[in-house]
Copies of this chain bind each other. A is one copy, B any other.
Amino acid sequence: MTEQQFLLALNGLRNDRQHGASALARQALLILQRSAEQATDCDEASLRLLMGQRCTQLCQIRPSMAVINGLLARWQQAVDHFHDEEGSLSTAMADQAGQLIDLSLQAVIDSARHASQLVQPGQTLITHSCSSTMMVMFEQLQDQNLAVIVTESRPLNEGVAVAHQLRRWGMDVTLITDAQMGLFAARADLAMVGADSLLADGSVVNKAGTSLLALAANYCQCPFYVLAESYKRTADLPEQLILEQMSGDELQHDFPADKTSNIYFDVTAASLISGWIDEHGVSYDGELK
């Protein structure tokens, strides 16, 4: 992977508004894997320098997505202990990235399986934004006669793609504006969302609007679950967070972009969350395992 190719891939990650944090973390690992695979002619020192720099750059790209930093830090830590035996370091680095991708995928599958056990056939579920882990759960729940209320998820409306996919899986989908979450939380049996990061105090960083769904669900006593594999945990607290702000132009209004706010994430307090679901099961006490 040349420097030019790497920068192009990095830019793709920076501008990706369709995928959730977990999918983007695996893409970041894939970029490291490709970088290592194609760096077989480097000596050890330049290989470590190149890969370390790329890892750092990937870590900085989406600061609200703890899972990217978390998995890349695990990769860095592992490869720091590798020895370069007869030029095998690049292969070992690539393998390590591949193993972490597999680990993340398995955690997603296991988390989704635990989540799917919370949903009864014929129930109505409300969700917000798009989470790859949520989509794996929905795929496992095909033919369960589910009704799903899906928010459009402004500004880029990734909820519309979710709604289409759920319809293909035979679910009874209702697409709503984000503003109708209050009306529809009252009609749902449960609310469930993915997460970009799980903070140390049990609060959750996810697409802007998630905290509104949590408030609305709590208000009408609809349980509110967060589905996120443990790799999304961070030691950060809400006050240490950097919430990504994108260009105001994404709202596509005839209004000055610098007077238009487009903060992508909000924080939902642990007190509003009924249960946290990860690859180990469901936790109900706000104490992340």
Contacts and interface: CB of A to CB of B under 8 A. Distances in A.
Interface of A: 151-155, 157, 160, 163-164, 167, 173-184, 207-209, 211-212, 215-216, 219, 243, 248, 251, 253-255, 259-263, 266
A254 B152 CA distance: 11
Given A154-B154, A160-B254, A253-B157, A179 B178 contact: yes
27 contacts: A151-B179, A152-B154, A153-B179, A155-B177, A160-B255, A163-B255, A163-B259, A167-B259, A175-B259, A176-B260, A176-B261, A177-B209, A177-B251, A178-B179, A179-B207, A179-B209, A180-B261, A180-B262, A180-B266, A182-B211, A182-B212, A182-B266, A183-B211, A183-B266, A211-B216, A212-B216, A215-B216
A39 to B, nearest CB: 42
State the number of copies, please. Answer: 2
A173 B211 contact: no
A176 B266 CA distance: 13
A261 B185 CA distance: 13
Contacts of A174: 259-261
Contacts of A211: 182-183, 216
B175 A154 contact: no
A212 B182 CA distance: 6
